Structure 1
Amino acid sequence: MYSQRFRDSLHNVMDRRPALRGIALCLALLPLSCAQQLVDGGSLPDSGVTPDTGDLPADVGDPDAMVAPEDVSVGEKDVPPVEMDLGSPEDVPTAPEDLGEPLDSGTPIDLGSPVDTGPPDTGPVDTGPADTGPVDTGPRCLSPLTECGPGPCVNTQTSAAHCGGCGRTCATGQSCVAGACTLVCTAPTVVCGGACVNTQTDAAHCGMCGRACATGARCTAGRCVGGVIPGASFQVSLSAANCSAVEHEVVTGDDRGGIAVSGSRLFYSGDTSTGRFDLQTLVGESVGRTYDALVSNLATGTLYSLANGSTPLTQMGGTVTSLMELNPTTGGLTSGLVNLSQPILLPATGSVGIFSGYERIILLGGGRAWHISLPSGAVIDLGPLSLPTARIACENWAIWGVAEFFGGALYVDYVQNATTIARMRVPEGTVATLASFTALSDMCSFTVSPLWRRWYFHHELSSQFRSSGSETVGYCDATITGPTLPCRPIDTLCSGACTNLQTSALHCGMCNRACPAGETCNAGVCGLACPAGQTACTGRCVDLNTDSSNCGACGRTCIGGQWCIAGACGGGPHYAVDPAPVVSYVDACGAAGSQRLLTFTDDGGTSVTLPFATRWWGAALSAGTPMYISSNGNVQVNTSSGLSSLSGTIPSVGSPNNVMAPQWRDLQLGSSGVCVATVGTAPSRRWVAQWVGAQYYADASSNLNFEVILHEGSGVIEFAYGAMSGSSNATIGLENPGGTEAVGPCPSGNSCPAVSNARARFSPIP
């Protein structure tokens, strides 16, 4: 209540002026009532008791001084200070009294706050002995504060100037937290590497601390976008040469999608299992499980499955965080794992593309493109991109293709439609044609093997690479430009070039063994080169089954107008029918010099001329003989103005006669019409008329693809069928010029339903 100075002043008054002790004591204990009594002229008797002045104020001025308090507090109410009335002079004893030193009239006594006007203090007066204990010399600062030299007390748990101890100063930008200097960042920044960074925009900490974007990339919304694309140049060219294809359904079950090559195997996934196939022979066997997200490094042949952590991705899609390495020979999982620098979300639906490249992978999904460097796993977000037009008929969640990098630009190659493989620049989205074909069927997955210089593919049903079958895997030649590649396993390095000693005319059987002029190397031996099914006889290639000068053997000549049939000389009007021969389906539409006729035609026809001489029902047909092609699935021989009858029965003397009928029925043709071409070289050429995408007039959902093949010289005729759908019967067979005789492959009569991939051969007999 009182200041120290006021208490000290009262002590001096009571010690030195006993007569004033009552006043001092009264002022100390009951200031309001005492002051009122003095004002009223009363006196304060000496109590005779020395008060306990331990809590009384003392005047720091002259000890003889006694000054009225400037303010006195009573209760909680303040009242004006009251001047002390010491009475008139006559009230003071006249007897001299030793008053000691003159009254100190120095600094007034500090009486603290204004007078408290609240209720009076009714507590007992402290009459105990004075406090004579020693001065308290304990610590100046109370816990948790600490005295660190002159100045205010500090909290070393929070003080940046004394963090954890006196004098320990935090660096600029740091705060003291729990006695330790700590960098404290304000949102949206966080602490990364001793600095406050925004992981949504910082290229060194994009999305999280330590995730650095590639050189030249920017961080947008926590994702690395763009950047300098690393890696070697890699460009491919695809051809339809030296192809081979096999059935794979027995190994994998129905197709499902997913294709990749390692250094020694082709891997393709079906509903039952992923299959592994020898890159040369295509002999396959089951892996024992199905991988839905196959991919590989084309530079090394390292085989992967896209994965989330250590779980391979399924056809339901998901978030790709890693690449799980597979055994390149068996396809089994290994312990190899490549963690991606940032996750990639691939949806289960929509245009998802998986593209294997040379030391890289490109993924498309969710409307964005992503680049993965191999083997590091560094991811670059290439920005928004979708496949504009792609083959999405795969029985899986994605399509598979190839990633290229040349001229400083990225590309992805994919099957665009049944005749085109496209190349799209990434991320610009501009599209060009990489390669054109005649019939890719439903192909939507392919990849390449730089080691074998081939491209590998899958499709269903018939294509230009395989005329029959349910599920097909195969390969054709490819050209790789850019990286320096080792020789193929079947090649030998001769004069600095990779060489196939089985086929090279300059290195036949061994390096530097050249074949003579006009000869080629076949199986490592120099000689006249003949296509399959032909034999070199006296400097030319002949078919021993049909050549009348080399019938059954070189030099065996047929005489008397006989001709060679199945390696035997003879002749006659009749034909032997083989209902299941091995016959290749000829792509007449894609052949050199082909004609496309009768487009969008119903019940019409047109005439063409036979390009070579042959035989028909025992008689010679000369080159230039007219052949009338009907939209209704037949060819009428030796007439330029045939009939387009809706259907017919053979044999029948009614017109038309002299008919080759691969599918005689009321048909209508669309944009593909009928293609006519001559293939092969003399004297073994073949004339082909091919109906493409025809329909039964009464069944718009039907799809009919078939052809008639007439051989030069021998008169052998073949019917070949591609995809055939529809339930109607058709007339199938050959009818003689007079309509009196007919032959055909149907089990009963000459009318039967269409069968996909069927074959029939008509061979003249003596």
Structure 2
Amino acid sequence: MRVVRWLCVSALSVGAALLGCATSSGDGDPPGGGGAGGGGGGPACGVGTVACGGVCTNVDVDPANCGACGKACPNGESCAAGSCSGSCWGNQLSCDGKCTDTDNDPLNCGGCGAACPSGQLCVQAKCAAECAAGTTQCSGSCVDTTQDPAHCGQCGNICFAGEVCSDGKCSPSCGGALTECSGKCVDTSVDPKNCGSCGTVCSTSIGEVCSVGKCDIACLGGSTNCNSVCVDTGVDPKNCGSCGTVCGAGEVCTAGKCALSCGGGTTACAGKCVDTAVDPNNCGSCGKVCATGQSCQNGACTLVCSGGLTKCGSQCVDTSTSLAHCGGCSKPCASGYTCTSGTCKLVCSGGTTNCSNQCVNFMTDVNNCGACANKCATGQSCVNGACKLVCSTGQTACGNQCVNLNTDPQHCGTCTTVCPTGQSCQNGACTLVCGTGLTNCSNQCVNTKTNQNHCGACGNKCTTAQTCTNSVCVNNCDPTLNLATTATATSNGGGSGSLGPDNMNDGYGEADCSAQGWHWISATSSSGSAYAQLTWTTAKTVGRITIDTAACAVAGCGVLAGRTVAGGTIQYLSGASWVTVGTVSAKTDDWTFTFPSPVSTTAVRITGLYAASCGYATNPIVYEFKAFGC
């Protein structure tokens, strides 16, 4: 037997905290039983509430005790389903931290803080002296006990968590053709707050009502507007015969009159008299709803075809056009055929025509060119429905032959252009023909390997400081011009002052070392971080470097023998990166390194520089570091 639950509910909305003085009856728990957090000698609380600080409250909606006693929501948040949230369910609003139904809360009627005068009720978001027809006053609020989970069937009867109120009874789901919207079972075909689907609200302020699941200015299908809801006064027990006429307990509305039972072979389903033989929402029995596309016939949901369609299996088909059911069920047409007026026929599409039971294109078919059986002669093609000589890609029909207008000297550019003697047709223009090894540049035959104005290609002109060699502009070079004298010389360290690195490129070699000095570099006989470098402010073409150093076996300028630059890695600067072009090793006297090919650079260096393993065998001397373009 179902438990009947009674609670004293505050004047707040259904979502507000449920206060004390609750009782319960039936075969449920005694008052206060099952309430979490309500231990000790506190008050006896009803089903759905617990004692928190001596007061019975609903922890599902109380922002001061959200989910458990003492668990308060942050400022600006509400409590819904025992969890703090920035928004409330359905159409409720957060008023002072509590989720409130402003449609029936006299303290927040139509909006938060809009309280009704003393003694008045809140009816559909407006203050009124009494509840509207079909609603019941429960603790100062007008509610629909057929769908309100806090007053299901009667005031104070609260449905358990997970249940909904359907036709005044708590159940796991909505019955009949009702839909659950925010915990309430509603008829979306007439509910102005859930019209057609949950949350779709009609503009009642401009007179809209919900009729047949759509917001409209007037009720459709013979229904009547009762308090902004479209109802059938012939069967509605809340508006039986006219708006506001409510049938008594146990009565049903039939033919617009309240009666103890349904007549005329109809059955009472949810307070309405319906014909279960044809009603798609109560087909055969109350609450049995037929699927979309089905109708109720003799109390059974059945696929019904209309508009000239025929039932073939589980589908409604047009046998006059259906490829699978042409002229009757299970009569398919073969591939390439269509169904016309219930007969399979070969129908050509895409600009084709039926010729001898074949689809052909009159515009391109050489056997049916322009008409059936009109065959083109050998060598001809069908173009736009006419037989013509057609040349392959890149060729053009000139008279009765196909030619290449780009290369044919008899038809150069056009069918009638003939090139003069000595000229050929190139790219559709008559052009001077040059001998072997020569190229036509601006109507001149030139050798692009050596021509200064057409070096490597027509128009590629070398500068006055360059020579065209093997199709490449090469800079003219003086092999005796020492480029190092215009550079800045640096090293990793060693001699300074009169023996500093600027002595490496001052133009004075070993012969003048006594008077002009030299530079010694801090290095050992093993490759390490020692280096000598030349840097220019503008790019130079470098093809060779020379190092004037001390001999391995001969002392010079009063220094010990053996202070020889024996080797290192030769690099040049390309952008921001050093590029290696070769290495030098085992040198015992002056040496030269020639680059594989000249490079344009702003710096060259010998990195990993080291001394020969003879004589002094450390701190090698550089009398002069020279660089040449070739």
- TM-score above 0.5, yes or no: no
Instruction: Give TM-score, length-normalised by structure 2.
Output: 0.20
